[in-house]
Amino acid sequence: MHKTIKSSIVAVLVLITMMARSQDAHYSQFFANPLYLNPAFAGSKSCPRLVMNFRNQWPAIPGSYVTYNASFDMHFDALQGGLGIIANSDRAGEGVLTTQSISLIYNVLIPVTREFAIIAGIQGGYFQKTLDWNRLVFGDQITNWGFTQSTMQPGPPAGNNFNIGDVDFAAGILGYSEKFYMGFAAHHLVPINEAFIPDNVSILPVKLTGHIGGVIPLEKSGNRNLRDDDMQLSPNIIYQQQGAFHQMSVGMYFKKQPMIFGLWYRRFFEGHDALIVLAGFEYDKFKFGYSYDITLSELASPAGGAHEFSFGLDFNCPQRKQKVRRINCPSF
């Protein structure tokens, strides 16, 4: 694609981001980033867990959307629940617009029966968004030969550093048994004004997430509990809503250690979005996953889909006074 066309697309995408109400960055490997999906997942692994994620969306467009994420969580007997910390950084338009956040999570495990338990979690942290005005490119700077340095657009408002920061809160709940799980989460419970222009109001919409899934063993296990090395299928449905944005993802994982494969279909209520293919492996306490979004919308040709990588490391469990029921949801 011609460099000028690519640059024009970048300018349009950044302009849309500034004018429209924002949505959170999303990941295709939902369960490889569990604390981002639902804060109630903190401590659900029982053992300490480190997770890192990287997503490059629309890589054919120079520096469009790159997102990083890292989290750590574990269960504490003394707290009868789990603790977690999660940090996220999203960069749009070659760093023209950046969003960063860091949060702490606490949840409590509530055994209901011998076969079913509930986890309820709360999350609190700090949210920051920054706009680099000097790197913006306006429409009258784009020509058939590239860019001009001059523009008729007015300069930035006096005294505005284009840096927004505010506290941010979320909550989530999970219900699960050995082979079934479902959950709900709500992010941005306290209104955050994202407007860069003084006296303007642009509230970051609440993000609602609902998810349900299960594990279907493909090997006869008798009366014993499901094990990590059992061959299994895991169908899942995830619904997310944030303002006018509605998204439904339907997919399935297939697992036979050390390999995991996944296939997902994601659509907006307005039309098709992407087909997601995933491959990963796990060895001992280490996990790695790669997925690619095959874009099905009109952006397929100029954008180039999305690449996503996940890394997970489980640590040795501390000596426990009580047995903690863990969720058998997929790792990718």
pLDDT string in tens for the chain (332-residue length): 444 444 444 444 444 444 444 678 889 999 999 999 999 999 988 789 999 999 998 877 766 789 999 999 999 988 889 999 999 999 887 778 899 999 999 999 999 998 899 999 999 999 999 988 777 766 666 666 655 666 555 556 655 668 889 999 999 999 999 889 999 999 999 998 888 877 788 899 999 999 999 999 887 666 567 777 778 999 999 999 998 889 999 999 999 989 999 999 999 887 788 999 999 999 888 999 999 999 887 665 566 789 999 999 999 887 765 566 677 777 66
Can you tell me the distance from the alpha carbon of 49 to that of 67, in angstroms, rounded to the nearest whole number? 20
- The answer to whether residue 294 is domain-embedded is yes
Cα separation, 263 vs 286, in Å, equals: 22
Residue 151, domain member (yes or no)? no
* C-alpha–C-alpha distance, residues 297 and 294, integer Å: 9
User: Is residue 153 assigned to a domain?
Assistant: no
Would 149 be classed as within a structural domain? no
Does the residue 296 lie in any domain? yes
- Quickly list H helices, the chain: 3-19, 34-37, 300-303
- Is 155 domain-assigned? no
Residue 92 is assigned to a structural domain of this protein:
yes
Number of domains in the chain: 1
DSSP state of 281: E
What is the secondary structure of 156-205 as a DSSP string?
PPTT---EEEEEEEEEEEEEE-SSEEEEEEEE--S--B---STT---BPP
Contact indicator for 211, 183 with CB cutoff of 8 Å = yes
Is 157 within a domain?
Answer: no
Range of the domain at 78: 3-144+162-314
State the Cα–Cα distance between residues 257 and 183, nearest whole angstrom. 26
Q: What is the pTM of this model?
A: 0.85
Tell me the CATH number at 206: 2.40.160.40
73-76 LR contacts (CB < 8 Å, sep 24+)? 73/35, 73/41, 73/42, 73/43, 73/44, 73/45, 73/48, 73/49, 73/105, 74/43, 74/45, 74/46, 74/47, 74/48, 74/49, 74/315, 75/43, 75/44, 75/45, 75/46, 75/47, 75/109, 75/324, 76/43
What's the pLDDT at 154? 58
Instruction: Show the tokens assigned to 57.
Output: 């969306």
